[in-house]
Structure 1
Amino acid sequence: MSAPRKYPDELRERAVKMVFELREETGNKTGTIARVADRLGVHREALRTWVRQAEIDGGRRTGTTSPDAARIAELEREVRELRRANEILKAASAYFARELDPRLPR
């Protein structure tokens, strides 16, 4: 289970949108994240992370998109479960092979 989020999703979306709008208006990338973060009372690094992820999701920057990251995490969980089940099945088959083989001591 993931940790509770410090900032609501609406604030995240609004802050990212404000950064993009301010960049368009001024034509300047430098300082926009700091200004918006200070104005909204959000930590600058948190906003920088949200903007970076929005750029990746929007195709403006290379990286793993949010849906892809969620799918990867889901597949990794599934692989862990399957490996655990496989180990259990191997142990069970070895146990029953010993039980059924008359040549092996019990």
Structure 2
Amino acid sequence: MNSPKRYSSEVRERAVRLVLEQQGEYPSRWAAICSIASKFGCSPETLRAWCKRSELMQEDSSANLPGNERLKQLERENVELKRANEIL
């Protein structure tokens, strides 16, 4: 049985960043993950797990922000989500 490949943190971060940047160009997030995973030589499920882990780490770091900064961040996200909804 093959041992799992180990990818550097830079490769994982780049793959996740590509998914986040390019998911709008695909019909679904999963389609973006499948396409990008093949370019990095990893399985789509592996890349999906990297994306999920990255999102969880980002949520944890944003929870530690002081009140005003957190509020500003949430307001920016709200504006971005409203804009995305209008496009859809």
The bucket for the TM-score relative to the shorter chain is 0.5 to 0.7
Q: What is the distance in 1 between the residues matched to 2:30 and 2:44?
A: 13
Task: Give ranges in structure 2 of 5+ residues lacking alignment.
Answer: 61-88
Letter in 2 for 1:49: A
Shift of 1:51: 0.2
Q: What is the distance in 2 between the residues matched to 1:49 and 1:10?
A: 16
Q: Deviations over 1:32-86 (max 9, x none)?
A: 1101001111121111110001111122xxxxx5xxxxxxxxxxxxxxxxxxxxx
Q: What is the distance in 2 between the residues matched to 1:45 and 1:26?
A: 17
Letter in 1 for 2:57: D
Alignment root-mean-square deviation, CA: 2.3
Match status 1:32 vs 2:29 = no
Match status 1:52 vs 2:31 = no
Taking a change above 3 Å as real, the CA distance of residues 24 and 58 of structure 1, as seen in their structure-2 partners, is farther
TM-score by length of 2: 0.54
TM-score by length of 1: 0.46
Which structure is higher in helix share?
A: 2
* Number of residue-to-residue matches in the alignment: 57
Q: What is the distance in 2 between the residues matched to 1:51 and 1:16?
A: 6
Q: What is the distance in 2 between the residues matched to 1:30 and 1:49?
A: 12
Taking a change above 3 Å as real, the CA distance of residues 46 and 19 of structure 1, as seen in their structure-2 partners, is same
Runs of 4+ in 1 over 6 A off after TM superposition: none
Shift of 1:30: 3.6
Task: Give ranges in structure 1 of 5+ residues lacking alignment.
Answer: 60-64, 66-106
C-alpha contact (below 8 Å) 2:26/2:32 kept by paired residues:
no
- Greater length-normalized contact order (CA 8 Å, ≥ 6 residues apart): 2
